[in-house]
Each structure stands twice: as C-alpha cells, then as structure tokens.
C-alpha cells in the first residue's frame, strides 16, 4: 500500500507515526521541511497548550517527502489557508469531526493576501507607522508587495506577520 493514499486517519504505517485526531484539521502533502512554517502561519508555538502532531519528511508518492500537521480542535480560516498555500501549494486540508474526514480540499493560491505578511523592504511605506494593511499579490513563484513592489520568492514564511 502506498504511503500517500490519503487515508490520513486510516491505518497507514506512516500516518500512525502521528496520532489520529478527533476533531480538527489535518494538513497533508506539505512539502518536506515546511511543517514548522505551517505552525508559524497558524500561530502555534506550543505555549498555549495546543494539541498538535507533526510528521516530517514522511515518504510520499506525490512529493517524495512530505510533512503532515494535525491540529486538534481547530478548523482553519480561509485567510490561514490562503497563506498556507504560499508555502505549501500542494497541501490538502482535511477537516475531521469525530474521527471522520468530513471535508477535504486542496489549497488554492489566492491572487492577493492582505494583512498576513510583512514587507521585508525597510524602505516600504508599510513598514512605518502608517494605518495601512500589508497587501501582497501572489505570483507563480512568490509574492509581491502591492505598495513598494518588492518581490519575495524565497523565505516567504519569514514574512509572516505574527
């Protein structure tokens, strides 16, 4: 049986490395090594008692190596999914209720993300004290500040406004 058959709450050996959840979200098919960035996007740092399981660099047919993040007791907002799509464009979001997957969908890259990333350009007007919400257009291979036009291709996760 393939390790990547998406029975995230089934009995797959790899899936068993992280515990099943009762209610919450399973974020699967995250590119290997991005799980901690996923947690950063979700604002999860472990200090608030969140119940989270993480599998990193699990063998995957589709991605070769993938990460899996399971968050108990929380369903993601669309904003969170939008930002997630920037660093995990192949991710699948599985909503779990009472151990059953009740919703499953691939993330879709939005055209614009607002208020979730900070511009890395110190000369950008959004980095001062202005009453302005950051806005980035999403490119095929990165994001672009709608104000100063700076393009960021790598390290997008480091721009997350926490």
What residues line the site for other proteins (CB under 8 A)?
A: 121, 123-132, 144-151
Q: How far apart are the first and last CA of the chain?
A: 40
- Quickly tell me which residue has 């399973």 as its tokens: 26
CB of 68 to other proteins, least distance (A): 34
CA atoms lying within 13 Å on the CB side of residue 33: 3
Q: Which is nearer to other proteins, 98 or 129 (CB)?
A: 129
Distance CA 33, CA 112 (A): 25
CB of 143 to other proteins, least distance (A): 12
Structure tokens that stand for 24 in this block: 């919450």
CB of 157 to other proteins, least distance (A): 20
Pair 156, 143: CB distance under 8 Å: yes
Structure tokens that stand for 88 in this block: 């995990």
CB of 116 to other proteins, least distance (A): 17
Q: Which is nearer to other proteins, 66 or 144 (CB)?
A: 144
Q: Which is nearer to other proteins, 108 or 149 (CB)?
A: 149
Q: Which is nearer to other proteins, 118 or 146 (CB)?
A: 146
CB of 150 to other proteins, least distance (A): 6
Burial class of residue 96 in the structure, from the number of CB atoms within 10 Å of its CB (0-12 exposed, 13-18 middle, 19+ buried): buried
Pair 1, 12: CB distance under 8 Å: yes
Q: Which is nearer to other proteins, 46 or 131 (CB)?
A: 131
């Amino acid at each position: 049986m393939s390790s990547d058959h998406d029975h995230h709450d089934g009995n797959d050996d790899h899936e068993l490395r992280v515990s099943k959840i009762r209610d919450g979200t399973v974020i699967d098919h995250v590119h290997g090594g991005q799980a901690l960035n996923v947690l950063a996007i979700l604002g999860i740092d472990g200090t608030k008692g969140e119940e989270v399981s993480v599998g990193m660099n699990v063998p995957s047919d589709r991605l070769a190596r993938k990460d899996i993040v399971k968050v108990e007791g929380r369903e993601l907002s669309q904003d969170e999914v939008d930002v997630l799509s920037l660093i995990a464009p192949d991710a699948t979001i599985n909503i779990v209720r009472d151990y059953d997957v009740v919703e499953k969908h691939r993330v879709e890259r939005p055209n614009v993300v607002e208020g979730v990333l900070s511009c890395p350009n110190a000369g950008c007007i959004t980095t001062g004290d202005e009453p302005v919400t950051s806005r980035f257009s999403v490119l095929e291979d990165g994001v672009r500040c709608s104000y100063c036009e700076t393009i960021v291709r790598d390290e997008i996760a480091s721009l997350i406004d926490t």
